[in-house]
Amino acid sequence: MDFTLTQEQQDFRQALRQLVEKEIMPVAAEWERSGRYPTEIVEHLKAMGLFGITTPEEYGGLALDMVSFALVYEEIARGWMGIAGILGSHNMSCSIIARHGTEEQKQRLLPKLASGEYRTGIGLTEPGAGTDLQGITTTARREGDEYVVNGTKTWITNARHAAVLPVLVKTDPTATPAHKGMSLLLVDTTTPGFEVSRDLGKLGYKGTESCEIFIQDVRVPVRDLLGGVEGRGLQQALSGLEIGRLNVAARSVGVAQAAYDAALRYARERTAFGKPIADFQAIQLKLADIATQLQAARLMTYWAASRADAGRRVDMEAGMAKYFASETALTASLEAMRIHGGYGYSTEFVVERLYRDAPLMAIGEGTNDILRTVIAKALVAGSGIVG
C-alpha cells in the first residue's frame, strides 16, 4: 500500500502551488472585499489547461487521473475557495458531456470548453427543488425540431460567463416515476428568453457568481438534447456527482490546510506572558487536533479518488470523503479563529474568510445529512463494505 504521490503528481502539485502563491493569495482578500471578478486568475487557469481536466485528450483536454483532479481543487482552495468553484461546475459539466453526449455534441463543444474559450456550469437547482431534483418544474415542450423551455434555476455557478449550460428539464411532466420524463438540454445562453436575473448574496464563496436564471420560451434545437435520447437527464446529472463530491472533499482539504497553516504561523509569532502561545498546552492541543483531522481528511479524499481511478463506482467513498473533509474544514476554520483570538474575527486575517467559506462544503453536492444516508444505504446493501 503506497500513500506517496507519483513524481508526476508531485510536479503537478508544485506547479499548482506556484500559481496559487504567486497569482491568487496576494489578491484574494482585496478582490473578495471589493467584489472584483478574478479575470486575470481565470486566464492563468486557462493557460494551465485546468478547464479541461475532465475532458478526454482527443477533445483537447488533460483527462487527469482522479488523484490529480483532487490536487487541483485542494491547492486552489488553499488560496481562495471561490476560484475552485469556477473550475468545479465547469469541469463537472464537461465530464457529463464527455460521458453522455453524442459524438457531434462532443466534437462541437468539448474542445472549446477544454481550452476555456467556452465556459459552462450546470442548471439543476430550482427555488423549490434542490435535494429533490425530481421535483423540478422547468419544462421543455417539443415543437418540430426544437424544444420550448420554460422555468427558473437558482444558485447557478458561472451563470454570467457560461456560453452553453446543461439544463435539467422535464420533457414529459406526466411520467411516472418522474425521472423517466427528465432530460438535459445543452442551452446556448445567448438564445432569446434566457436571462441571468441576479447574483445571489452569499456569506462566503466569493469570487464566482451564484445566480438566478429565468428561462422563458427559450428555443433549443433537438440536436442539443444531451445524448440524443429523452428521459435520461437525471441519471446523466447524477453521474457527475461522484466527481463533484470528490471536488468538494478536496476543496475542504484545501480550506482546512489554509486554516492549519494560519493557526500554526500565528501561534509561533504571537506572544503572551513572555513566550509564543505555541508553547501553551491549550494551543498545542488545538493544533494537534486540526493537523490530525486534516491528514485523515486528505487521505480519505485520495483514497476515494484512487478507487475511482481503479474504475470503481465510488458513491460511498466519495460521500464519506466529502462528509468527513467538509466537517474537518468547519472545525479547522473555527479552531484557527479561536487560536487567533480577537484577531481571528478581523477581516485583515485569512481565517475570517475561511470561516465563511467552510460551511458551503457541508451543503454543496448534497448536504452532509443526505450523504450520511447515501453511505448507510450502501453499507446496508452490502455494496459499500469498508476494509
- Residue 126 appears among annotated catalytic residues: no
- pLDDT-derived band at 382 (thresholds 50, 70, 90) equals confident
- 50: number of Cβ within 10 Å: 22
Q: What is the pLDDT, as a whole number, of residue 384? A: 67
Distance CA 290, CA 226 (A): 44
CB 162 within 8 A of CB 112: no
Top-level class of domain 7-115: mainly alpha
**What does the pLDDT read at residue 131?**
87
Q: Where in the chain is the domain with CATH 1.10.540.10?
A: 7-115
Residues of the chain with CATH 1.20.140.10: 240-381
CB 152 within 8 A of CB 214: yes
Nearest Cα neighbor of 24 from 342, 263, 353, 343 is 353
Instruction: Give 234-267 pLDDT, tens digit per residue.
Output: 999 999 988 999 999 999 999 999 999 999 999 9
pLDDT at 60 over 70: yes
Q: Which three cell numbers stand for residue 66?
A: 482522479
- 133-228 maps to which CATH number? 2.40.110.10
Q: 240-381 has which fold?
A: Butyryl-CoA Dehydrogenase, subunit A; domain 3 (1.20.140)
Residue 237, pLDDT score: 95
Q: Where are the CATH 2.40.110.10 domain residues in the chain?
A: 133-228
Mean pLDDT of 184-213: 96
User: Beta-carbon neighbour count of residue 48 at 10 Å?
Assistant: 16
Q: What is the pLDDT of residue 64?
A: 97
Q: What is the pTM of this model?
A: 0.96
Looking at 23, 74, 75, 365, which residue is catalytic? 365
Please say whether the beta carbons of 65 and 309 come within 8 A.
Answer: yes
226 grid coordinates: 444531451
pLDDT-based confidence at residue 387 (cuts at 50, 70, 90):
low
Other Cβ atoms closer than 10 A to 98: 21
